Structure 1
């Protein structure tokens, strides 16, 4: 009921009461005025005082079901005659449930609602906001609205169990051993570099850190390297247009599966990619932008500034926590028109240790790609080419790679990965 209509009703009752001198009408007038003043004072304060929270696991693997629990507690003494809640949920994740409830909430009472999300697609999603609306029973005051700010859900890429990678022992995969053992010899210091998260404390060069006023660690000449880096090419200009969306997602799944396998084998693994992370290059003051329908994180990257949205490289480390860091980046990463592999790969690998194995996931094994990888071989790195687009002439790619000193594999479909479960008979 609008305030103008209600005030008109009060004036009419007041006039009738004075004309007829009926006490009952005065009583009704006082009750209506009291109800209005009470509603005007009570309901806005009650809504502000509601405790509300959203409880859920903010990271999930592909295919999992995520339970979200909404908790609303009313700390006031008096009941709320009605409270409506509505949660904004990504359409791609809904499991057929709609969060839109109206209920009575008594004083000191807590209400809980549970709904589920299905992790059908990797990504970084916005969950919420939660809208709360209340008012009085008679509609004497406008409805009041409050919100619970959104939270965010990270869905990791699908991980395909590889079991056992049968690659040459020089690449140090799985449990195949070699007479060559590559490691960084601590008796041969080479210099210093900036400290990275995960570096051992004993490698910090304290004197140099005090001089430069930032943490630096000692580096040594490469006598050993048990490290592997997954190199993921997501430059869209190198993918076939008609199948670009499907193949780039497949490339991300392959990269995630390789990283998970290596960590499970207790091997240090890192990640380099020329894709874009929508959270990188965004101003701190600006809020991330999400698609209103799907709930997925959007990017404002253009071909002109796409390189500024490329994420920093993740250096090789081992351990479950490090794997989660890699998977989080792969959950947000998107293909874009960035720097082609032939221009990006060599500078990107300059900081890597000598002898490191590189798993290069890319759509094609053309001449330019193979020549670029050959340059890595000449610098002492151990690259392996993984082609993810269908290629009827992949035999030529394999021959070209063999001539240039590295191995090439075709992993265009999931069945191609199954062959990696069988160990290769190699000479070491």
Structure 2
């Protein structure tokens, strides 16, 4: 009889603890996740901070936290965390206990290995009683966004053509005529546009005179990136490393130009999140805010072609709404893995319209695999972590 009562009391205790510690175990349990930075470059280290607080006066025997995070985030070792990695995502599972009225902070060291805009806005929290008779689950909505810009490339790792182009831009920086800066008049020369004739000076001297223009110290450079790896590529990029290196070059060029006080813009023919094609081009402007805008645009580039690059180039052919209206011209730098015949034809049209066009060829996959850039940025080994 005594054994029966002992079993009965034990059963009641087990049921009570299941009721108190099981189904109600997630009440007054708060969870918060934040990142040390909202944006960084590929290869940078950041911290993900998790704060879990038990506001109850009753401990939580076990608590499991599951999160789906981007595969491009390389986590440092955490003893209580098991990580299962896939191609696009990795599943993080943590298991621990919480004492009564306890607040714990967990800091994860992360290396960002992949460019892009990442949303980490969900997690699942589970808890239960000591014997696993009852449990509670709570999905968590967490607004966490991380933007990873392309890595900057060392100037020595840039294609040789960039250094030559760099010197040419520096020379043209002080030799480009500025149509809005008038310093005087001069005699008419063959090829001068008729809208530059200074009629009062012509009447006074009896010979055709035109405005003498000053020189622009700030050429406007438009960086145009071709997502197509080769002429046969249909839609999806088959060699992501080539495209990522091209975007890395674009980021380096933009930072270099803006750092020297020049205007820089960016455009591409890749798929974008919005349907507005104008979001795929940022016109040249000055300053650190402009650089942030350009890097954001580069981070959003998806590895799929939106339209053939030669068609994209044709949209930059200067247009004039009036016959005598001066056409706005820019320096155009094309960053591309290949130059097809249609691209050459589009470049010729741009040059005939008065734009200065230069080409920066992106190395092929075999060259990149042997390069220092490959070893230092995108070829870091993935660390498998098990708990």
State TM-score, norm by structure 1: 0.61
Determine if the alignment matches structure 1 residue 111 to structure 2 residue 85: no
Q: Where in structure 2 are the equivalents of 1:120-139 lying within 5 Å? A: 120-127=113-120, 129-139=122-132
Which structure features the higher share of strand residues?
2
SS across alignment from 1:255: helix
Question: Which runs of 5 or more structure 1 residues have no equivalent in the other structure?
Answer: 1-15, 187-220, 282-307, 391-410, 416-428
CA distance in 1 between counterparts of 2:166 and 2:36 reads 43
Partner of 2:137: 144
CA distance in 2, matches of 1:159, 1:85: 35
1:79 aligns to 2:59 (yes or no): yes
Question: Residue 248 of structure 2 corresponds to which residue in structure 1?
Answer: 253
Call closer, same or farther: CA 1:30–1:84 in 2, change over 3 Å. Answer: closer
**3-state secondary structure, aligned to 1:380:** coil
State how far apart, in whole Å, the 1-side matches of 2:341 and 2:310 are: 10
Offset from partner CA, 1:122-150 (integer Å, 9 cap, x none): 22334463332111123332343333536
Q: 1:80 to 1:177 in 2, by over 3 A?
A: same
Q: Contact (CA 8 Å) 1:51, 1:74: kept in 2 or not? A: no
Cα distance in structure 1, aligned partners of 2:121 and 2:283: 34
Q: Which runs of 5+ in 2 are unaligned?
A: 78-82, 84-91, 157-161, 183-212, 321-326, 373-387
In structure 2, the residue matched to 1:407 is none
**In structure 2, distance between residues paired with 1:177 and 1:332:** 31
Cα separation, partners in 2 of 1:340 and 1:184, compared to 1, 3 Å: farther
CA distance in 2, matches of 1:253, 1:31: 63
SS of residue in 2 equivalent to 1:89: strand
Match of 1:45 in 2: 27
1:372 equivalent to 2:346? Answer: yes
Higher relative contact order (CA 8 A, sep 6+): 2
Cα distance in structure 2, aligned partners of 1:310 and 1:237: 24
Aligned pair in 2 of structure 1 residues 310, 363: CA closer, same or farther (>3 Å)? Answer: farther
Residues of 1 paired with 2:369 and 2:18: CA distance?
A: 70
CA distance in 1, matches of 2:358, 2:317: 14
Aligned residues: 313
Please give the secondary structure, in 2, of the residue aligned with 1:88: strand
Between the aligned partners of 2:238 and 2:133, the Cα distance in structure 1 is: 58
Q: Deviations over 1:163-209 (max 9, x none)?
A: 8945487x643x875244426469xxxxxxxxxxxxxxxxxxxxxxx
* Partner of residue 298, structure 2: 330
Distance change (3 Å), C-alpha of 1:355 and 1:144:
closer
- Contact persistence 2:23–2:134 (CA under 8 A): no
Q: Is the 8 A contact 1:389 1:412 kept in 2?
A: no
Is residue 39–residue 140 contact of structure 1 (8 Å, CA) maintained in 2? Answer: no
Provide the residue aligned with 1:265 in structure 2: 260
Q: CA deviation at 1:331?
A: 1.9
In structure 2, the partner of 1:274 is: 269
Aligned equivalent of 1:296: none
Structure-2 change in CA distance of 1:177 and 1:88 (3 Å): closer
Counterpart of 1:320 in 2: which secondary structure? helix
Q: Does 2:29 align with 1:61? A: no
Distance between the aligned counterparts of 2:232 and 2:33, measured in 1? 44
Alignment map for 1:331-410 (pairs within 5 Å): 331-350=299-318, 354-389=328-363
Shift of 1:243: 7.0
SS at match of 2:250: helix
The aligned counterpart of 1:318 is 286
- Relative to the length of structure 2, the TM-score reads 0.67
Q: How far off is 1:309 after superposition? A: 6.9
Change (3 A) 1:41 1:386: closer
Tell me, yes or no, if structure 1 residue 91 matches structure 2 residue 91.
no
Distance 1:32 1:414 in 2: 64
SS in 2 for 1:336: coil
